[in-house]
Amino acid sequence: MATVRVDGLTVAYDRVGAGPPVVFLHGAGDDARIWRPQLQALADAFTVVAWDEPGAGRSSDVPGSFVLADYARCVAAVVASLGLGPAHVAGLSWGGTVALEFYRHHPDLVRTLILADTYAGWKGSLPAAEVRARVKGARRMPAAPRGAFDPTLPGLYADGPPAAYAALLAAMADAVRPATLGRQLSLMAETDQRDLLPTVAVPTLLLWGEQDVRSPLTVARQFHEAIPDAELVVIPGAGHVSNLERPEEFNRAVRRFCSDRS
């Protein structure tokens, strides 16, 4: 584990391997451990980094005033601390929204973008009625009494949680901080990054689970149409957490894309 200090916060991250840097940003309710299959598979060719964002894992609690630009500033500190120049930046779900905001503020630190099962914010990707329903659920979850808090979002998997990662998923769920999840989901509901997508000027890979119901393929196609020269890869049999449900296919796409652009 390595750490970097940003405005008084400690941001922790895992770093393995050597070569061009690939930085993975996790989704809401997760931490760096969600990227374990990627760290194990890609370290032979890349410097693979998975962060615990503020409020998750081994990092400091997230301040209540945090906005997307603050997360982006923390990602910038991690990338700069590597000393390897611009990075391939990959984000899953909420992590993809953070990756986009990082690109908005720090394009000089981004070699490529890999956006997996993500959103341009809920407001920027989903129908208004769906956003309202998610906001209602998002307000209930962190407010649940102690012992009743369940951070599991509905519709994450195509065919239930992968058995191979059951213990990992349980451990991450036990570690979720209600205040963190509330902040993540609140920001997702407020965010609309559609203005940013046409301005993306780095190679971009869109990785989507074919059976993703949280960020369906209609969202992937919006990204594909809006981001110049973006490449869309659909992973059969995967839902929203495609990196765990189909890790071999996910890793193969990331390896090819990054190798061709390193």
Residue 6: per-residue pLDDT: 96
What is the pTM assigned to this prediction? 0.95
Give 247's pLDDT tier (boundaries 50, 70, 90).
very high
DSSP H/E element including 179: helix 178-190
Mean pLDDT, residues 14-42? 97
User: What is the rounded average pLDDT of the residues 48-64?
Assistant: 96
At 143 the pLDDT is: 63
Judge whether 258 and 46 are in contact, CB under 8 Å: yes
Q: Is the pLDDT of residue 58 over 90?
A: yes
Radius of gyration of the chain (CA): 17
pLDDT at 149 (0 to 100): 52
- Band of pLDDT at residue 129, cut at 50, 70 and 90: very high
With a CB cutoff of 8 Å and minimum separation 6, the contacts of 82 are 15, 21, 23, 47, 49
* Averaged pLDDT score across all residues of the chain: 94
pLDDT exceeds cutoff 80 at 243? yes
Contact of 99 with 91, CB cutoff 8 Å: yes
Tell whether the model's pLDDT for residue 198 goes beyond 70. yes
Local structure of 124: helix, strand or coil = helix
Q: Does residue 9 have a pLDDT over 90? A: yes
The DSSP 8-state label assigned to residue 21 in this structure reads E
Burial class (CB in 10 A: 0-12, 13-18, 19+), 115: buried
225 vs 214: CA distance, rounded Å: 19
Q: How far apart are CA 129 and CA 87, in angstroms?
A: 36
3-class DSSP state of 193: coil
Beta carbons of 89 and 46 less than 8 angstroms apart:
no
Other residues' Cβ atoms within 10 Å of the Cβ of residue 201: 12
Q: How high is the pLDDT of residue 159?
A: 86
Residue matched to tokens 């992590």: 95
Rounded alpha-carbon distances, angstroms, from residue 180 to 56, 163, 169, 175: 7, 26, 17, 11
Residue 186: count of CB within 10 angstroms of its CB: 14
Q: Model confidence over 89-126: pLDDT tens digits?
A: 999 999 999 999 999 999 999 999 999 999 999 999 99
Residue-level pLDDT at 150: 62
pLDDT value for 139: 75
The SS3 call for residue 111 is strand
Q: Mean of the pLDDT values across residues 236-242?
A: 96
Adjacent-strand bridge partners of 24:
50, 90
Q: Is 187 left (phi over 0), alpha (psi -120 to 50) or beta?
A: alpha
